[in-house]
Chains A and B, each alone.
Chain A
Amino acid sequence: MSTRTAGLVAALTITTSVIAACGAAPTTAGGGSGSGDSKAASATSAQDFGGMDKLVEAAKKEGRLNTIALPPDWANYGEVIKAFEAKYGIKITNDNPDGSSQDEINAVKTLKGQDRAPDVLDLGSAFALSGAQEGLFAPYKVQSWDKIPDGQKDASGAWYYDYGGYISIGCDAKRVKTCPQTFADLLKPEYKGMVALNGDPTKAGAAFAGVYAASLASQGSFDDIQPGIDFFKKLKENGNFNPVEATPATVEKGETPITLDWDYLQASYAKEFASKGVDWKIAIPSDGQYANFYAQAINKWAPHPAAARLWQEFLYSAEGQNLWLKGYARPVLLPSMQEDGSADAAMVDQLPKVEGTPSFPTPDQVNKAKEVLASGWGAAVSG
């Protein structure tokens, strides 16, 4: 009997110490950048370092930057990373390139206090809002802060929109006789089994946006996503819905000849596949225009706080913004850069054309739409 008790006690002791080890954050700040650490971690602008030069110096001393969930073929992030590394001699470790916003938030929480925690985040706007409410971000205002329009940034600097785009209809002109231009077109019988989203809208942001756009095209509104779900139900019933999740690979292979996705992703597919004989055409549907931005934020417990802040300064400089533009994304400073002439005009001309100015749903509207979608989507397309 006594041996059994001893075994149990031993097991419990180990168990609890494992739990304790998981839960407690080491008290020493990671990063090994020495005395400047606490100052950098609380800096809310370049002035707090004593100017840009001092910020660059502090960041170079740290020498590393951890990013997360930045796919190289997404909004030209591959080149952005290379340009930053070359310019400042700071080595970037990009974890989990195809990760989601939730993965990023999870990493912030679970890697707190560790050297490999992400320094900076590129989040879906709803995750930026909820993360800021939870106090996960370090407020920081980049030098071009005043040029970011109000309503596209958190007043305290916890997050700010970085780049965005429109939901667009991509189409393989070699396989599809007439490319659809509007959501109404997608219901035509000639597109049987062709119309794909870029994922499950209860999971993938761009697919969610696709359903929202479909709602706007079918007498829905920001308050009412149901017509969008009904649209896809109709699409499913008449056999046009293609359940394959669109990726560059499925586009190239012709598995998803018609794809709803962000215009900047589709535009880069078009460029990439031109050499492989795929004629990828992009249209922003006039009946359902939906635009959205992603948001930048700094991890409050960033192991490389100065490098994290320098990364933001780089992204919001004309150089960083033009690199996104080169990836066909619409950077948040584009309007002001077109005014002062710092936007790359050739790149602006390459963007898919849009009429009118975009409007955005409020966070409350988005959250409500998500709940409606989560409960209704499965039933609409299953079978």
Chain B
Amino acid sequence: MHDSRTRSKSRWAAAPLLVFAVIVFGVPMLVLLGGTFTKEGTLSTANLTESLQGAYLTALLGSVKISALVAVLGGVLGTFLAQAVVTSRFRALREAVLTASGVLANFGGVPLAFAWIATLGNSGVVTTTLGLGQHGWSLYNFWGLTLVYLYFSIPLQVLTVVPALDGLRPQWREAAQNNGASTWQFWRYVGIPVLTPALLGGVVLLFGGAFSAYATAQAMVGSTVPLVTLKIADALTGNVLIGHENVALALSLDMIVVAGLVMAVYLPLQRRSARWLR
């Protein structure tokens, strides 16, 4: 009896949140679905088909490509940096890196693009001083954009894995060593399995950050790197294309599906490795 009463009470406590979620996520989702499956007033899948063809498909794949690359590179580099900081004997270094990560992980959008353009753009300070332009340097391409995304992705990964690395108890390593395990064996059978949820969570976060980034790319590369967010903006607010608004909604739906697929891979893996932490 007691049990069920508290449960019904807690259900009420969640009601405001549910109402909020239904309005804030539900209404746009309905509008999105409604628009996606309407073409000139009739029910149709034409928008969805168009969003998976030609330039739109290229943009979608381009977004997935750069996001996956940023997620993997940022995940690996961020983890090594976090491990270096956690095992360091200098407390000040740790504090400095964590504070800087907190700031840099939130550094995005046009200010970020501006900082890079002013430094390494084609009339940037470093570019002109060292004459990089003559040697074929260009910030405004796929690799340039990847570099800029890593600038906020690596700190984000540091922030996500540091608590997990702190949670790796020294006793575990000592126990492993006492039983004759090598460093590699410790990481292979203890460290990495325990860290997997945090690592995966970080990688998914980085993927999402790069996948949805818009302002940085818009300010820096324009149309030279095909990205789905830029295509959506072209279709919704451009001066050129007319009547593509619903294709933009279809593209948004595609993005939701991609994000859903990533989560579908992440969740079972996370659940599996979470067993270690019980």
Contact = CB atoms under 8 A, between A and B. Distances in A.
Nearest to B223: A200
Interface string B6-39: 0010011001001100110011001000000000
Contact of B224 (A10, A14, A243): A243
Interface stretch (A159-167, A271-279, A295-303, A367-375): A367-375
A203 B19 contact: no
B240 A201 contact: yes
A201 B238 CA distance: 9
Interface in A1-19: 3-4, 7, 10-12, 14-15, 18-19
A203 B226 contact: no
Contact of B234 (A124, A203, A254): A203
A381 interface: yes
Given A12-B22, A204-B238, 12 more contacts: A3-B8, A3-B12, A18-B27, A19-B30, A102-B237, A102-B239, A201-B223, A203-B239, A204-B239, A243-B224, A379-B58, A382-B225
Contacts of B225: 382
B132 to A, nearest CB: 11
Contacts of A101: 238-239
B243 A130 contact: yes
Contacts of B117: 244, 255
A354 to B, nearest CB: 23
A281 to B, nearest CB: 18
Secondary structure at the A interface, as helix, strand, loop or mixed, is: helix
A381 B224 CA distance: 6
B55 A377 contact: yes
Nearest to B59: A378
A253 interface: yes
Given A3-B11, A15-B22, A193-B122, A202 B58 contact: no
A378 B11 contact: no
Contacts of A199: 222
A253 B119 CA distance: 13
A243 B140 contact: yes
A7 B19 contact: yes
A7 B15 contact: yes
Interface in A192-236: 193, 199-205, 208
B58 A378 contact: yes
Interface residues of B, number: 44
B74 interface: no
A243 B224 CA distance: 6
A143 interface: no
A101 B239 CA distance: 5
Contact of B239 (A124, A254, A376, A377): A124
A193 B59 CA distance: 24
A319 interface: no
Interface of A: 3-4, 7, 10-12, 14-15, 18-19, 99-103, 106, 124, 126-127, 130, 193, 199-205, 208, 239, 242-245, 253-255, 367, 370, 373-379, 381-383
B19 A14 contact: yes
A382 B223 CA distance: 7
Contacts of B19: 7, 10-11, 14
A60 to B, nearest CB: 34
Given A3-B12, A203-B239, A243-B223, A19 B22 contact: no
Nearest to A126: B242
B46 interface: no
Contact of B223 (A10, A202, A239): A202
25 contacts: A3-B8, A12-B22, A19-B30, A102-B237, A126-B240, A130-B243, A199-B222, A200-B230, A201-B223, A203-B233, A205-B239, A239-B136, A242-B140, A243-B141, A243-B222, A244-B222, A374-B244, A375-B54, A377-B55, A378-B55, A378-B59, A378-B223, A382-B62, A382-B224, A382-B225
Contact of A204 (B62, B226, B240): B240
A49 B249 CA distance: 44
A7 B240 contact: no
B22 A102 contact: no
Contact of B226 (A18, A99, A245, A378): A378
Interface string B212-250: 000000000111111000100110111111111000000
Contacts of B233: 203
A376 B55 CA distance: 7
Contact of A200 (B11, B54, B222): B222
B234 A200 contact: yes
